[in-house]
Structure 1
Amino acid sequence: MTKKPAFLIAAAKSGGGKTTLTMGILAALVRRGYDVQPFKCGPDFIDPTLHKLVTGNVSYNLDLKMMGNGCCKQTFHEKGHTHDILVIEGVMGLFDGGVASSAELAKTLDIPVIIVIDAQSSAESAVAVLKGFEVFDPRVTLAGVIFNKIGSERHRQLIYDSVLTKSSVPVLGFMPRDARFTIPERHLGLYMGDEQPLSDESINQLAAAVEQHLDLETMLKSKVSLSAPAPKKRVSHPRPRKKKYIAIAKDDAFSFYYPQNIEMLHNNGFEIVPFSPLHDESIPDRVDMIYFGGGYPENFAKQLSENRLMIEQIHSCHVQGIHIYGECGGFMYLCNSLIDIEQHEYSMVGIFPFRTVMNRRLRSLGYRQVRLQKKCLLGPKGVILHGHEFHYSKLETELLSQSSGEIELLYKLDNNSQEGYSVGSAIGSYVHLHFGNDSNVITHIYNQLG
């Protein structure tokens, strides 16, 4: 067992500045020369890309609901063992989300919590909020508090004086309001790290502000004990094992992938071959499977629709019986057409006889437990898989009557609805699956590829 500095950055509520402060703290630690391993509590795809933008290291999801305790612990210890400092960004408010909350993850990993309190338009009342978090669950260790959006020195002093008499939580600093540090947003949340939502100059300014206003030295006194990683175990399989090739759509339109899923595939006999439905004209040669993750196809619908050579290639692969799997945005691309927020309709691949229509309001959000209704690429009938759903589009099914292909429903969800569709060798669904809860899915995929 080795001890390393580690903490989870949580907040009293969503929108309190947790992500911005996390980026600032990560950037400040990197500027000091530390090798920081970031993590994200919850199923989010976007925040981990921002962590990577700042640290240069892949940020891994830790989600008790979707991945299970064992996978979360293994990921945390294995990925953190070779780095100097481990930092987890929480999700929503500290106690929000039940079993998937930041508080439950902190208890599971025995990691101290730094709580961020949005103090805008309040003073002593912000300390009352802190006191509530301090006593709500004694099993959660609060290593310190950061008061965010401080407006003046008088504002800071009122809060500080109140903390001294009302709370025993160490004050790690007061972060002033500064519009320069606002990260731009859109319908699915913040912009991805690859899109450079903050310039290098802004990141440096944010890191400098953290150094000036926060107590990093005290933060680094928070430590966890890490187990030495066990020898890597590949998923059991018969020998010899022939390499399988998976083409993975990766560009500005398709970027939502859990890194653990990709690594599990890579570590168990799969060669990952990236390609771009936006820019390439053909699928990579010799592939056994094509994987379309989620992302923003609605923002690139015109370009995707105009790349007819790529669409024809995907159709050819489908006719040949090559397995195709699409999640959320990838599923939308594989449908007949997409209507964007401006009501422009664009033809898509057309494997699934649906039209997807973008809405300005969120259509679906939440964890999904999937029971397979029949044997398919992902597992035998009855197998339970875990994932998450988050989208602004809806599925229109009027085109089903015009479909010449046989379409089947594959998933029964834990809310008693049905989802997940197959047409020949293609599977499409709005649910983003995480394979960490049952690594047997990797073996099954491998075997199904022949």
Structure 2
Amino acid sequence: MSNTFRMALLTSTLLAGPALAETTLTIESWRNDDLTIWQDTLIPAFEAKHPDIKVVFAPSAPAEYNAVLNSKLAAGSAGDLITCRPFDASLELYNQGNLADLTDLGAMANFSPVAKSAWQTDDGAATFCVPMASVIHGFIYNADAFAELGIEVPQTRDQFFAALDKIKEDGTYIPMAMGTNDQWEAATMAYQNIGPNYWKGEEGRLALIKGEQKLTDAGWVEPFAELARWKDYLGDGFEAQTYPDSQNLFTLGRAAIYPAGSWEISGFNTQAGFKMGAFAPPVGAEGDTCYISDHTDIAMGLNAKSPNLEAGKVFLDWVGSAEFATLYANALPGFFSLNSTPVAMEDPLAQEFVSWREKCQPTIRSTYQILSRGTPNLENETWNASANVIRGSETPEDAGKRLQEGLASWYEPQK
């Protein structure tokens, strides 16, 4: 190499200045089915704005996530960013000092108290994960069947049962596809779906936590009474019908209505050969305030021992932005942004679900915060009670009494 070339090379290097320091952030998650969405859509959008921060999405198998994450945290080898499940599992991570307090993060201003409730201390003083998405409950229906039978989309309970009666009388379709074999859907897609209109969403849920209402009160027993009426519309053999059985009955066009969580949207879009629509849980009478279960599902926190805390906060501020909300919600229709900025959905069925936020009051499943920490576990007991009531093996009143006695046996405010 000539001396002239060496000098030119040295001069150009000095003029270029020092190379920018590059930070790499690693994300821990159980959503391994999201890998391509992160790699192809989300991470490139962030890195385009922050070229000095690289992001690696490194998920674990869903069933192994909690154990793998806890092991990594104990060994000091966990990633910088921690995907957070709702309520107690993430609260325990925070209490152990594994998740940083994000209360003062700028993006937290973009979320409502309900949106943040799954990732806060019981007193609401500290928030430790940035909310990412929720799932919304309602009913998906076969729009072709409704048109064929001349059925209007029901808004009230009377209209709902009139529609079910008309479908049953015609006989072409099973009025509603849901079984009680697996129990959980009887609570999740039935009791927790229609219940908020009876217990007035957050008003009733928080009153139960405070001990100001009981599960024997009318607002908590009346949803069971409605479920008892469902028995006549679920078709022969519903007692032995599994969750996949119900999905298949609907997508094959054999049932007209499906009590749903919005997570079904992507699968139903690929499997159903007919036009679908959705309606919110019917209210008691026209003009009543409507409530929806807009259940907090997934968030992201910051490993308190990460060597890249500042870069991690930059990324989490972006996760809390309208840009992330739009990208994520449209990449995963049925998993809705919890950001206060409305997100226009490209999928029409997803847009119908999310539009209910504009007219209904949001709440979360009543059993998830605090009330299922003891034995008997209120969430699991509600599964059983809901299935029993639909089958007719337990009255609504007896179900409420049993659940109340179980909760009062260990939960001090209910004693």
Shorter-normalised TM range: under 0.3
| Structure showing greater relative contact order (alpha-carbon pairs closer than 8 Å, 6 or more residues apart) | 2
- Rg larger in 1 or in 2? 2
Structure having the higher strand fraction is 1
Structure having the higher helix fraction is 2
Q: Using structure 1 for the length normalisation, give the TM-score.
A: 0.24
